[in-house]
Amino acid sequence: MSTVPLPPATLVIATRQSALALWQAHHVRERLRALYPTCQIDLLGLTTQGDRKLDQPLADIGGKGLFIKELEEALSDGRADLAVHSLKDVPMIMPAGFTLAAILPREDPRDAFVSNAYQSLASLPPGSVVGTSSLRREAQLRERYPRLVVQPLRGNVNTRLHRLDQGDQAGVILASAGLKRLGFDARIAALLDPEESLPAIGQGALAVECCADRADVVTALQPLADTVTTLATQAERAFGLKLAASCRSSLAAYAVGRGDELWLRGFVASRDGCRALRGERSMRITDRDDAATLGAALGNEFLERGAAAILADVL
């Protein structure tokens, strides 16, 4: 008869050292402490390549995987037991030997417009500069507001807000989840509905990663998982996987429950926003396999409509 592994006596959480990453790690630690009061839980702060190389667009230096490589190395060599990520930073294909053991309840997944002088994108004068680090956001901005100038903006949330306050841009687009988690709700001038700016795959969700062979850690993390968020993001990630999504892809997907079905919307565009595809699909979902089937089906539909050629222009 098999036995269920007991939670470890100690757990070490690997995390990036930005304010938002630390908030996320502390949040997971507090959730685990509530579940396992006798477990000693520590943080291991690490600086990733993505944090060090801020002078180049993320798409040009290797993609979002640069934010998690060092954390995975800490898992592999035993310095850490688990790592906490923004799910949107996790590549569609997990490296061998690792697993996403839990996806937590989602925060607001929408993009947010932040400006010190304007209340909406529509109110910006022609030629105004808007900062964003995302090709997805850039394409949707260029499609809807061709009169605006889009400039790359990298760095953590505090750095991007500082750049805005220095007057480098008229406004910036950031994930509302990060702003809310750090207490910057008041900085949000407007929340962008998914119809205006479809969110990134996994945006707003936290993922906890560990080594696949650590059954004790996987079991300990299971109570953190949120079923609704897990199924929604599974569909989104399956869509991205079908289209070989990376940070060099101007691609978005967002799934929500609608009655007893899961409703998935997708978006693909050229960087200039001149060519764009939108689509949606829904189905009744009972488990992850169903969610993945939904995402793959929408991805196949996009490929049939010419998404590969559009994405090739972005690369």
CB-based contacts of 57: which residues, under 8 Å, 6+ apart? 133, 152, 154
Domains located in the chain, CATH noted: 10-104+205-225 (3.40.190.10), 111-192 (3.40.190.10), 235-314 (3.30.160.40)
**CA-closest candidate to residue 157, choices 123, 205, 96, 112:** 112
What pLDDT score does 154 carry? 83
What pLDDT score does 3 carry? 54
Give per-residue pLDDT as tens, 46-65. Answer: 987 655 555 445 554 445 56
Bigger pLDDT: 229 vs 57? 229
Instruction: For residue 312, name the pLDDT band (cuts at 50, 70, 90).
Output: confident
What pLDDT score does 260 carry? 87
Catalytically annotated residues: 89
Give per-residue pLDDT as tens, 7-27. Answer: 789 999 999 999 999 999 999
What pLDDT score does 259 carry? 86
Q: How many helices (H) and strands (E) does the chain have?
A: 10, 13
Q: What is the DSSP letter of 233?
A: H
What pLDDT score does 61 carry? 46
What pLDDT score does 290 carry? 95
**Element (H or E) spanning 52, and its range?**
helix 49-52
Give per-residue pLDDT as tens, 68-113. Answer: 999 999 999 999 999 999 999 999 999 999 999 999 999 999 999 9
Instruction: For residue 314, name the pLDDT band (cuts at 50, 70, 90).
Output: low
